[in-house]
Amino acid sequence: MSEEKSLNPAVAIKLCQRCGQAFGCGAAFCSCECFSVSLSPEVRNQIKENYDDCICILCLKELEKSKKKE
């Protein structure tokens, strides 16, 4: 896992496995921004197959948006 310490103990700083940008992940504390993103089953499977850890909110939205264009 790619985590660093955060100033906010409820947020882990991670590096997005898709784009490499640092972002705050609060999933372990039930308060992550990604919880608000609705993903299709196809995109969820794509993420599971291609990434071992979190990806940032921008990448989540981009993957879902690109799927809707297909």
**Long-range residue pairs from 47-54, CB within 8 A, at least 24 positions apart, any chain:** 51/17, 51/18, 52/17, 53/1, 53/2, 53/14, 53/17, 54/14, 54/16, 54/17, 54/23, 54/25, 54/27
Please state whether the predicted TM-score (pTM) of the whole model is above 0.75.
Answer: yes
Q: Quickly state the pLDDT bin for 1 (edges 50, 70, 90).
A: very low
User: Can you tell me the mean pLDDT for 30-42?
Assistant: 87
Spatial distance between the Cα atoms of 22 and 32, rounded to a whole number of angstroms = 14
Q: What is the structure's pLDDT at 34?
A: 85
Q: Which residue has the tokens 């310490």?
A: 5
Which tokens hold the place of 55? 């990806």
